[in-house]
Structure 1
Amino acid sequence: MEETKINGAAPYLPEEVITNILMRLPVKPLMRFRCVCKNWENLYKTPFFIAAHLRHSQQNPFLMFSHDYLCNDLPLRLLDCDMQLRDVQKAPLFHSLLSYFIGSCNGLLCFITMRYCNFPSSFLLWNPATRHSIEVPVSRTINYHVHHMEIGFGFSTLVNDYKILVIYALYSDRMVCGVDVYSLNKGSWKEIAVGNLFDISFVSPAVSCNGAIFTSGLKLGKKVIVSFDIATEVFTFIPWPPLLDHPTFSKFTVYDGKFALLTTNLIGTPSKVDLWVIEEDMSSSEDRWNWIKKFTSDPYPCEFIPWTIWRNKVVVSRTEIGGEIRKNKECLCLFNITTNEFKILDIHGNSLQNFVNYTESLVPVVNATSNEFKSLIIPQHSIGDIAKAF
């Protein structure tokens, strides 16, 4: 590329070339480069640049996980594409709090914190890359001896909004008794109608994909998948795939941008892992949802717990090898979906938990009352337009 000169002045790169370079850099150097000039500092706040940088980051996601289910230390780790481990710096609001990880979306992490005998006190929305975070008080006071909370976190391009979904259920039978939704755009909670959830008891954590939050439950004794549309705030039911192996352990995940399901047999060895992906047929009024089995691993003489899909690999933790149980110890393994290659990583822990895909981003964490909020929200057309432009 030739440098440009004007009237004998020092050579320079065109502004669009500089922007194209910057949007491909990690967040850490970008934060350092803010002091180069005011234009760069302002550039990082524009919706166009935030969306473009996010798109490039999503091409090489990290695998984020923790070693504990619930703790006040929250030891989050990152595994990069070179299989190197990194630590995640703590958010300032985590001190002296018990924190439980809810989900990750576009570089934002959602946690719920506990105070006073494990009663929930607030949610934390945190961008580890920019080190910005906000605290969101819970919408209502609950007693964990009486109520249970099913929580999801996701984003919809249709309304350009991040939302926290909280489903309240009776602890005795987990039947739904209330639903609240927090909107980051509005900076407030609202209660929505329970509707067709009145006879559902929830049994599994939630995952978000393509503007929806998915969880599962029991309806009249049968397992169902419940989808919450973040834009319309409407619940719908999805059938489970025809699982033939019983009993099975299942885990919701995302594969190739679609809602998916990982399953494995719970009793006996050898173990194998199946990947199911759902296809939606909008032209069909009856069989709208169609499950397709995309992958079945080779059987191995050990017990697996599947967690997620990361870089075309099934992430599993292994607790038994050759009949020898490793008490209170787990190790991390990967199944390559394309080649079926099985790889054991040198990552061990007493309780490996909360495996998610994580991408560094400049996405802001601000309340709707902030003066900067409207200028920082990414418009719904930005990512699509950028994909065409680059």
Structure 2
Amino acid sequence: MSDYIPEDVVNKILLKLPIKSLMRCRVVCHSWNNLIKSSTFINSHLCSISQLHSENEAHDLLLLQGYADENGPVIYSLHWDDPELSECTDFITPTYTIVPDLIGTCNGLVCLSTCSSLSAGRIILWNPSIRKYVFSSIPSSCFDGEENFAFGYNSNNNDYKVLLLTDRQAEDDQTVHAGMVWPFASGDWKSFSHETLEPIDVYSPFEEGLASVNKVLHWLQYELTEDYDDKYIVSIVSFDLVTDSFKLQEAWVNKTLSSIRITRYEETLAVFEFRSYENEEFVDMWVMKEYGENCWTKLVTLRHGLSIDPFGFKNSREIVVGVEDEEGRLELKSMNMDGKQVKQFGRSGYKFFFMDSFIESLVLLDHPKAISY
């Protein structure tokens, strides 16, 4: 069939197709299969899909991770980012002996980690849309503490990176900060010097959120003030995915521990600040006016009378929050920016602990070591 259609026309048509259709088109003929699994086509298709999403000309998707029962299976469900949160599909996961932790998503890849005292840990990059994954063993070089991971993408050289922060026992039995970065393109883990990591807190660094903006990962770091009155200096730690360098910028003083969470909002940073007043709970949302400048403006205050945990945003700019039900499950609800309209979000009866925007892609289709399942 393709012999009667110019090659450039075939290419343009295929670039407009969704992933499921493209995977079916691979069996039409050898030339189509070779075209679709080529690195050039994969990157072009990703750019095309990303452009459509940025211009709001494509249906946005949300990836949710959760379970109905703590002893039951973890589900990864894909939903349309529409008012009804219509369910798109449940992803079939590879089989693991250990339930993996979800680190993050980017360009259709889901980054997972499996760490256990019983087996060697692995980093897994999984593309659920094409049912392929690759993995890397986590180096066991004297890491004694809890591993903390972050995932990001450097568009300058089309490379994905995993950041690992932990601590280890030095030769003099002192505990020192340790860290590594894994660039997917090279596959080799690179260690950071002790001096580089000395100012960085490696103990549960991403507990208060993680935001990737402009090829930089951002998270929060707390340090007690000099008078030790349970007030903290809060700094924003950044890791540049292009230069593999860290930066520490003081942002606020006199804050209580865990009173702030950081997230991405459009193309800049935002924080949720929690406070109580007269037995009521409030959440203030602050947005960085210009990315990189320590100047913030309050966008909204949510007054809800419930203890909530912000998850992120829908394309409609509604805020998605987790609210504990009577059985301790964290149900998802969406609120408009004034907090007055609250709607059920996600599957009823499920406990969710991750949500992020998602686009389907062909990434990994051309990788020689990708495993199909």
Distance in 1 of aligned mates of 2:349 and 2:205? 23
Aligned residue number for residue 212 of structure 2: 208
Q: Is the 8 A contact 1:71 1:99 kept in 2?
A: no
Q: Trace 1:1-390 onto structure 2 (pairs within 5 A).
A: 15-58=7-50, 59=53, 60-67=59-66, 73-82=73-82, 83-92=85-94, 94-117=95-118, 121-141=121-141, 146-169=144-167, 177-202=177-202, 203-205=204-206, 206-219=210-223, 222-240=233-251, 249-265=259-275, 268-277=279-288, 279-280=290-291, 289-293=293-297, 295-311=299-315, 312-319=317-324, 326-337=326-337, 341-345=341-345, 347-349=347-349, 351-364=351-364, 370=368
Distance in 1 of aligned mates of 2:272 and 2:303? 15
Q: Give the C-alpha shift of residue 317 in structure 1.
A: 1.1
Q: Give the C-alpha shift of residue 236 in structure 1.
A: 0.4
Q: Give the C-alpha shift of residue 254 in structure 1.
A: 1.8
Distance in 2 of aligned mates of 1:264 and 1:243? 14
Secondary structure at 2:26 match in 1: helix
**Alignment deviations for residues 213-253 of structure 1 (CA, whole Å, 9 cap, x no partner):** 22222346533221111111110013335798x67643332
Distance in 2 of aligned mates of 1:169 and 1:371? 31
Distance in 2 of aligned mates of 1:276 and 1:71? 39
Task: For 2:102, give the aligned amino acid.
Answer: F
Distance in 2 of aligned mates of 1:70 and 1:110? 22
**Structure 1 stretch displaced more, 180-189 or 265-274:** 265-274
Distance in 1 of aligned mates of 2:188 and 2:312? 31
Could you say if the C-alpha distance between residues 70 and 346 of structure 1 is closer, same or farther in structure 2, counting changes exceeding 3 Å? closer
Task: For 1:179, give the aligned amino acid.
Answer: G
Distance in 2 of aligned mates of 1:63 and 1:355? 7
Could you say if the C-alpha distance between residues 56 and 250 of structure 1 is closer, same or farther in structure 2, counting changes exceeding 3 Å? farther
Could you say if the C-alpha distance between residues 199 and 272 of structure 1 is closer, same or farther in structure 2, counting changes exceeding 3 Å? closer
4+ residue runs over 6 A deviation: 9-13, 69-72
Q: Is the 8 A contact 1:212 1:230 kept in 2?
A: yes
Q: How many residues align?
A: 343
Could you say if the C-alpha distance between residues 10 and 220 of structure 1 is closer, same or farther in structure 2, counting changes exceeding 3 Å? closer
Distance in 2 of aligned mates of 1:338 and 1:270? 15
Distance in 2 of aligned mates of 1:242 and 1:56? 43
Q: Give the C-alpha shift of residue 87 in structure 1.
A: 4.2
Q: Give the C-alpha shift of residue 54 in structure 1.
A: 2.2
- RMSD between superposed Cα atoms in Å: 3.6
TM-score (norm 1): 0.75
Q: Is the 8 A contact 2:178 2:197 kept in 1?
A: no
Q: Give the C-alpha shift of residue 109 in structure 1.
A: 1.0
Secondary structure at 1:238 match in 2: strand
Task: For 2:107, give the aligned amino acid.
Answer: N
The percent identity for this pair of structures is 24
**Structure 1 stretch displaced more, 247-256 or 299-308:** 247-256
Could you say if the C-alpha distance between residues 346 and 360 of structure 1 is closer, same or farther in structure 2, counting changes exceeding 3 Å? closer
Structure 1 unaligned spans of 5+: 1-8, 282-288, 320-324, 373-390
Q: Give the C-alpha shift of residue 266 in structure 1.
A: 6.3
Task: For 2:41, give the aligned amino acid.
Answer: F
**Alignment deviations for residues 320-368 of structure 1 (CA, whole Å, 9 cap, x no partner):** xxxxx6231332122344997543325334532021111111112776x
Q: Give the C-alpha shift of residue 89 in structure 1.
A: 2.6
Secondary structure at 1:40 match in 2: helix
**Alignment deviations for residues 1-21 of structure 1 (CA, whole Å, 9 cap, x no partner):** xxxxxxxx9997765454344
Distance in 1 of aligned mates of 2:149 and 2:289? 22
Could you say if the C-alpha distance between residues 237 and 199 of structure 1 is closer, same or farther in structure 2, counting changes exceeding 3 Å? closer
Distance in 2 of aligned mates of 1:190 and 1:291? 34
Q: Give the C-alpha shift of residue 316 in structure 1.
A: 0.8
